[in-house]
Amino acid sequence: MSGPFRISGAGRLDPERKAKFTFDQKPFTGIEGDTLASALLANGVHLMGRSFKYHRPRGVLSAGAEEPNALVTVARDDARKTPNVRATVQEVYEGLDATSQNRWPSLAFDVGQVNDMASPMFSAGFYYKTFMWPKAAWKHLYEPNIRAAAGLGVAPDKPDPDHYSSRFSHCEVLVIGGGAAGIAAALAAAQTGVRVVLCDEQPTFGGSLRFEMGAEISGEDAYFWAQETVEKLRAMDNVTLLNRTTAFGYYAQNFVGLVERVTDHMAAPGDLPRERLWQVRARRVVLATGAIERHMVFGDNDRPGVMLASAARTYLNYYGVAVGRNVGVFTSNDSAYAAAIDLKKVGVNIAALVDLRDNPSGPLVEQARALGIEVNHGRAVVSTAGRLRISSMTIQAKSGGGERMIPVDALLMSGGWTPSVHLFSQSRGKLSFDAATHRFLPGATAQACVSVGACAGSDDLGTAVAEALKAGEKAARDAGGKGEVSARIRVSASEGWSGGMLGTGPAGEGSTRKAFVDFQNDVTAKDIRLAVREGMHSIEHVKRFTTNGMATDQGKTSNMHGLAIAAEALGKPIPEVGLTTFRPPYTPVTFGAIVNHARHALFDPTRRTPIHPWAEAQGAVFEDVGQWKRAWYYPKAGEDMHAAVNRECVTVRKSAGLFDASTLGKIEVVGPDAAKFMELLYTNPWEKLEPGRCRYGIMLREDGFIYDDGVVGRLAPDRFHVTTTTGGAARVMNHMEDYLQTEFPQLNVWLTSISEQWAVIAVQGPKSRDIIAPLVEGIDMSDAALPHMSVREGKICGVPTRLFRMSFTGDRGFEVNVPSDYGQAVWEALWAEGQKHGACAYGTESMHVLRAEKGYIIVGQDTDGTVTPDDAGLDWAVGKKKADFVGIRGMKRPDLVDKGRRQLVGLRTKDPKVVLEEGAQIVADPKQPIPMKMIGHVTSSYWSENCGRSIALALVAGGRDRIGQTLYVPMPSGTIEVEVTGMVFFDETGGRLNG
């Protein structure tokens, strides 16, 4: 036998399929299909954890996802350590390694338990009130220590080696919950022929049929009916069955998030994803989420061995485990009788059944009495005893009087059932308080969903199945299902009960014992009353003050009790106090499932140019520019970045350099109105630009500030080749489309992104023409035929090219555009030519230095979204005669034409060796008191080997009027003196463009 408490012949697992596992390093044997909780109970282990705040010994409360107590850490290896796993959910597998949490040095002897004895100190609000002063101590002293003492498991400190997968799924009907109602709804829906998804959080479908032995369908055990029907569904092409799958979030328009646990139950997961995230869009959702039993709130109701009656029944009837040998029962409704009866039938002694009701009656009560179970009505359990396991319960008449102590080794309780309306509430449906049954039920819907079965308040199987069939068919029909529904389900016997109680039993108020409402956060009935006394009158405030319902179980068992106690203390009816809001996730979801594929190479696309492999082979160092990898510099052996950049910059101006400019954004603007459109989107005039010529264009936003810039070539009267900054490519395209589609839709012009159609090789420097010319066909390369700022189409290395004569260095330069697949081969051919002339490859850093030597701006570095063309010294690029372009009005706003605006200027440090820091602030008077008046900042700053000194660009208030003045850059290490200059540091006459 796998444990002394395993009952032969009971349960639905195969006792031959054993699985060995350890709990706190101690070896145990379970059965495949066991949860960790059932396997431990089979071995007589009830103590599974310590509570959060008081470190009280705790056992399992439940047999499902609502478990607040039995949280353990499951470890496969160092990196695969999952904390806060519910022992009632974790399936046992061969080699499972589980460890208890929140105890030191051991589960049975935990030093932290002193908190329990000092508990009068730790009432609700204790932390808020006590650790107020001194303020600084909170962050460094109080919080870290409190967190260390009160806590759950420890997160692993290694990267998660598992992988996770995802699936977007569409269906007509999504059925959440695979109990009798869910199965019936899915069957009816599926028979109409529509796509149906049925999910359930348990490994096996059946819901409460897994333990309700009194349920029969067509004369047989309803659980077998469930299995047969599920197999029928599995065979249907239009049905997706997802077991071990939790619907955790219900979002807008029937978008529901599911997590399928793929490998957490496997001894050898192999290469499977650990979890699969399903993002389901359903035309209709059928909620068949069932109900969760509530505990009873009484003194010391948290000792190991005290659990929900339905849990004990599940352990017996599904797992074949008796939770004790001498069991007490405390209830306020009929369902606990069924547990007592089932246990009694397999030979477990029922020490006493205590029913809070005065005159319980009905078949179950009769049956219990007939079996010889002592039924004490009108009485309550007022306390329990036992250190690491319950040893006795003490009962008393409701009216008071003598107490009687009854030895027990387990105590089952039932305060009634709470419909699981979590997902319905998440869907923004309204909950209605049903006064007759004291429960919140789904009311007005906000989305196309319908609740059936226990979650809708249907208390017996017959009703649940009948309404589920109807709702399933209706949902499918509404979503277009045409097929005939033949399913008929005859419920021949059924269990069903309603009623129960909310809040505490008698003798609750005055007792000094802890009567727990929320086990996981250690919230007692007293704490909730205290919260009300201290002025928390909204249930949302009570929740936050006491933390009731705020633990990882989100108050599945505690919310209704908390509400009832608060309502009682407030003297208001429950619906007037109201429920706290249900929010996703229903149960905790791993970060892995959410992050999913988006890790490593799939975290974000890494974009590489066609020339990237060459640069990589050359040992280039790359920098990230948005998603692009760009060659930053090409160090030779022994060179650091500084040396490499100096060499590259000098070589370009001495001979030539090759630069991979493929990442530039490129847009082909085509149509009879192309020039008109360009006139509207750029500040410059375009109508008169000759085909074959280029122009530097500036694009503004409507507010008059610079948005982007780039060289534009006119290929034909109706065709422009526009370049944008690398980072601006996508947004410039969007900006242009926006104006074209919505402001100027009358224009016959279209935009096509050609950024990746063309690889771009910039060849810059005095030898650039000599390098290119031998490879070019059909283009006259002479200065007369191909002057600076012109473009030609022809061939290079036998493939098509758009050859631009343009310069971003101030030296003679070209940009060779070739179709991307040819990019690397053409680069290699140019490189080979370049070698004959001593040319080098240069990266983005040298590109930046070379352009700064010439005072060419970089949008986004020298501008920041508040810089006008005039501020940047680019007023010449604004067409003065134009009647309209985007930004024409914005740039005339009073503030934008005001005196004293920050203008782009050059800075020369008095000490040429000092290189300013980009972003450094500039002041006129370094002796003024702090805070100083800052009049500008450095936007670009480099060491220029070509100039033999440092160079910088800066935005300075009234900058152009300050040329020649000395300003100051205060830095932590001292104040740097600078002289304001023009923006051009090299070849001021511009002769080198044709040099």
Partner 1 sequence: MASTAQAERRPKLAGRETRHGALRVAMLPPAERMSLRAPAASVAALASALKIRLPNAPRQSAKSGQRTSLWLGPDEWLILDEGGGDPLADCRSVTAVHSAAGISHRNVAIEVSGPGAAACLNSGCPRDLSLAAFPVGACSRTLLGKVEIIIYRTAEDNFRVECWRSFSDYVFEFLSVAAKDVAG
Partner 2 sequence: MLLIRCPYCEEDRPELEFRNAGEAHIARSANIAGESDEAFETFFFIRSNPKGLHYERWRHVHGCARFFNAVRDTVSDKFLMTYKAGEAKPDAETLKTLGASAAWTNLSTEHLGGRRPARGKGDTE
User: Which 90-149 residues touch partner 1, going by CB under 8 A?
Assistant: none
Closer Cβ to partner 2, 890 or 926, answer by number: 890
* Range in contact with partner 2 (rule: CB under 8 A) among 142-150, 239-247, 305-313, 887-895: 887-895
Q: Which is nearer to partner 1, 15 or 483 (CB)?
A: 483
Copy the structure tokens of residue 676. 């008109």
Give just the sign of the alpha carbon dihedral 350, 294, 454, 322: negative
Token representation of residue 483? 């097929």
- Binding of residue 65 to partner 1 (CB under 8 A): no
864 part of the interface to partner 2, by CB under 8 A = no
Q: Which of residues 417-456 bind partner 1 (CB under 8 A)?
A: none
Smallest gap from Cβ 824 to partner 1, in A, equals 6
Give the Cβ contact number of residue 391 at 10 Å.
Answer: 15
Q: Residue 557 Cβ, how far from partner 2 at the closest point, in Å?
A: 19
What does 825 bind: partner 2, partner 1, none (CB cut-off 5 to 8 Å by kind)?
partner 1
Alpha-carbon distance 440 to 190, whole Å?
30
Q: From partner 1, partner 2, none, which one binds at residue 167 (CB under 5 to 8 Å depending on kind)?
A: partner 1
Report if residue 625 touches partner 2, rule: CB under 8 A.
no
Toward partner 1, which CB reaches closer, 749 or 858?
749
The Cα-based distances of 450 to 175, 423, 674 in angstroms read 10, 11, 55
**Alpha carbon 305 to its chain's center:** 37
From partner 1, partner 2, none, interface partner of 254 (C-beta below 5 to 8 A by class): partner 2
Residues sharing a CB contact under 8 Å with residue 166, sequence separation 6 or more, in sequence order: 276, 277, 278, 279, 596, 597
- Asked if 567 is part of the footprint of partner 2 (rule: CB under 8 A), the reply reads no
Binding pattern to partner 2, positions 467-506, x when CB under 8 A?
Answer: x--xx--xx--x----------------------------
442 binds partner 2 (CB under 8 A): yes
User: In the window 577-606, what residues touch partner 1 (CB under 8 A)?
Assistant: 597-598, 601-602, 604-606
538 binds partner 2 (CB under 8 A): no
**Among 348, 398, 318, 294, CA closest to 35:** 318
Verify cis geometry, omega within 30 degrees of 0, for the bond prior to 134. Answer: yes
Pair of tokens at residue 559: 């919310």
Tokens of 115: 């908190």
431 binds, among partner 2, partner 1, none (CB under 5 to 8 A by kind): partner 2
Q: Is 831 in the site for partner 1 (CB under 8 A)?
A: no
Residue 388 in 3-state DSSP? coil
Instruction: Kindly give the interhelix angle for 363-370 and 335-345, rounded to the nearest 10 degrees.
Output: 30
165 touching partner 1, by CB under 8 A:
yes
The smaller minimum CB distance to partner 2, of residues 880 and 899, is found at 880
Number of residues located near partner 2, criterion CB under 8 A? 62
Q: How far is the CB of 274 from partner 1 (least distance, A)?
A: 11
Q: Is 394 helix (H, G, I), strand (E, B) or coil?
A: strand
Which one of the spans 145-153, 281-289, 298-306, 617-625 is the region binding partner 2 (CB under 8 A)?
A: 281-289
Choosing from 234, 369, 387, 893, the residue that interacts with partner 2 (CB under 8 A) is 893
User: And the tokens for 298?
Assistant: 């009484």
Window of 369-377, 460-468, 702-710, 774-782 that interacts with partner 1 by CB under 8 A: 774-782
- Count of residues interacting with partner 1 (CB under 8 A): 59
Interaction of residue 281 with partner 1, rule CB under 8 A: yes
Interface residue with partner 1 among 755, 790, 809, 868 (CB under 8 A) is 755
Q: How many CB atoms lie within 10 A of CB 435?
A: 10
Pairing of strands 18-23, 96-100: parallel
What Cα–Cα distance (Å) separates residue 618 from each residue in 610, 621, 635? 14, 9, 9
575 binds partner 2 (CB under 8 A): yes
The DSSP result for 62-118, as a single string, is: -SSTT-SS-EEEEESSSS-EEEEEETTTSBP-TTEEEEE-S-SB-SSSBGGGHHHHT
107: tokens are 């589960």
Answer for which of 16, 157, 237, 271 binds partner 1 (CB under 8 A) is 271
Does 554 interact with partner 2 (rule: CB under 8 A)? no
Per the CB < 8 A criterion, the answer to whether 879 and 900 are in contact is no
Residue 435 contact among partner 1, partner 2, none, beta carbon within 5 to 8 Å by kind: partner 2
Among left, alpha and beta (phi > 0; psi -120 to 50; other), residue 25 is left
Window 898-937: contact mask with partner 1 (x via CB under 8 A)? ----------------------------------------
Query: In sequence order, what are the residues at sequence separation of 6 or more whose Cβ sits closer than 8 angstroms to the Cβ of residue 180?
Result: 206, 207, 208, 209, 215, 217, 222, 226, 453, 461, 464, 465, 468
Pairwise CA distance, residues 142 & 538, whole Å: 28
670 binds, among partner 1, partner 2, none (CB under 5 to 8 A by kind): partner 1
Q: 3-state DSSP: the chain helix, strand, coil percent, rounded to 5?
A: 25, 30, 45
- What DSSP state is assigned to residue 862? T
Reading phi first (left if > 0) and then psi (alpha if -120 to 50, else beta), residue 478 is in alpha
Q: Token digits for 174?
A: 């999504």
Minimum distance, C-beta of residue 576 to partner 2, in the bound complex (Å)? 5
Tokens of 506: 């008698």
In the shown chain, the binding pattern of residues 759 to 778 toward partner 2, with x for contact by CB under 8 A and - for none, equals --------------------
- Report in angstroms how near the CB of residue 418 gets to partner 2 at its nearest: 15
Binding span for partner 1 by CB under 8 A among 66-74, 543-551, 587-595, 752-760:
752-760
**3-state DSSP call for residue 469?**
helix
Residue found by looking up tokens 């419909």 in the block: 419
Q: How far is the CB of 203 from partner 2 (least distance, A)?
A: 29
* Member of 888, 924, 932, 947 binding partner 2 (CB under 8 A): 888
Distances (CA, A) of 490 to 184, 215, 498, 790: 11, 11, 22, 85
Question: Applying CB under 8 A, which of residues 120, 894, 948, 972 lies at the interface with partner 2?
Answer: 894
**Complex with partner 2: residue 174 or 645, whichever CB lies closer:** 174
Contacts for 741 with CB less than 8 Å, ≥ 6 apart: none
Q: How far is the CB of 284 from partner 2 (least distance, A)?
A: 8
Confirm or reject binding of residue 428 to partner 2 (CB under 8 A).
yes
**Residue 757 interacting with partner 2 (CB under 8 A):** no
626 lies in the site for partner 1, by CB under 8 A = no
Q: Under a CB-based contact definition with an 8 Å cutoff, are residues 470 and 450 in contact?
A: no
Pairwise CA distance, residues 709 & 724, whole Å: 6
Tokens coding 739: 């104006």
Which of 20, 544, 607, 837 contacts partner 1 by CB under 8 A? 607
**Least distance CB 485 / partner 2 (angstroms):** 14
Name the segment binding partner 1 (CB under 8 A); options: 125-133, 458-466, 775-783, 984-992.
775-783
Interface of this chain with partner 1, residues 711 to 750, rule: CB under 8 A:
748-750
Give the 3-state secondary structure of residue 991: helix
Site for partner 1 in 806-825 (CB under 8 A): 818-822, 824-825
* Secondary structure of residue 451 in the 3-state scheme: strand
Contact 391, 361 (CB under 8 A): no
Euclidean distance between CA atoms 803 and 780, whole angstroms: 11
Footprint of partner 2 (CB under 8 A) = 251-255, 279, 281, 283-284, 425, 428, 430-436, 440-451, 456-457, 467, 470-471, 474-475, 478, 573, 575-579, 581, 702-703, 734, 737-738, 741-743, 745, 883-884, 888-890, 892-894
Footprint of partner 1 (CB under 8 A) = 163, 165-170, 195, 271, 273, 276, 279, 281, 597-598, 601-602, 604-610, 627-628, 668, 670-672, 748-750, 752-758, 773-777, 795-799, 818-822, 824-826, 829
